[in-house]
Amino acid sequence: MPELLAHVVTRAVESRVTQVEHVLHQLIERGAVRADIDTRTIATMVFGAFFGAFLRGDAAAARASLPEQLTTTLWPALTTRP
């Protein structure tokens, strides 16, 4: 079982967190997001929200609203604009 978990972390979790981190770095380069944010922590939080909803068994409709909910919640803390 530990090998399976390690495989999931490497192939599924880590790759998705890295994708979110990459998007955050692009937003920093464009000046849309503050340069002093911890991209790793934020990416982990975003991925964790989706993973948690899936594990809780949330309906597809509830999971579909997560991007908007996360943006509404996190964006004010990340943006360079008031």
Whole-number average pLDDT of the chain: 90
Q: Which residue is it, tokens 């934020």?
A: 42
Q: Domain count of the chain?
A: 1
Q: What is the mean pLDDT of residues 12-16?
A: 85
- Per-residue pLDDT, 10: 76
Percent residues over pLDDT 90 in the chain: 66
- On whether the CB atoms of residues 22 and 45 are closer than 8 A, the answer is no
Quick: pLDDT tens for 18-46.
999 999 999 999 999 999 999 999 999 99
31 close to 80: Cβ distance less than 8 angstroms: yes
Q: How confident is the model over 66-78, as a mean pLDDT?
A: 94
Domain encompassing residue 73: 2-78
